[in-house]
Amino acid sequence: MLFINKASTRFDVLERELRTQNQYLMGEYFSIADAYLFTVLGWCRFFDIQLDGWPALSAYMVSVTERPSVQAALSAEQGTN
């Protein structure tokens, strides 16, 4: 699948960056780029893409998911406030 191959190549780039850079995409602070990447990576489940092959991306998802603001947003999205 062409889409999966393109996504995989981009995930490889992100994996290298997150492994060698700070905690977030633009440095040590959470930015809109992180919010968008978190959203896009969340779509992987709809395409049956597992992030196991990209441990830094997997850890990134866990880290972002644990942010209180993200927890609040996810809760509001699910209507569990």
Q: How large a percentage of the chain has pLDDT more than 70?
A: 96
Does residue 69 have a pLDDT over 90? yes
Which pLDDT score is estimated for 81? 56
Which residues partner with 24 through β-bridges? 27
Question: pTM for the full model?
Answer: 0.84
Return the CATH number of 2-68, one of 1.20.1050.10, 3.40.605.10, 1.10.357.10, 3.40.50.300.
1.20.1050.10
Q: What residues does each domain of the chain span?
A: 2-68
Closest CA to 61 of 77, 72, 50: 50
Are the C-beta atoms of residues 64 and 57 closer than 8 Å to each other? Answer: no
18: its two tokens: 């997150």
Which pLDDT score is estimated for 22? 75
Assign 27 to helix, strand or coil: strand
**What is the pLDDT averaged over residues 19-37?**
89
Q: Which residue has the higher pLDDT, 26 or 21?
A: 26
Are the C-beta atoms of residues 25 and 31 closer than 8 Å to each other? Answer: yes
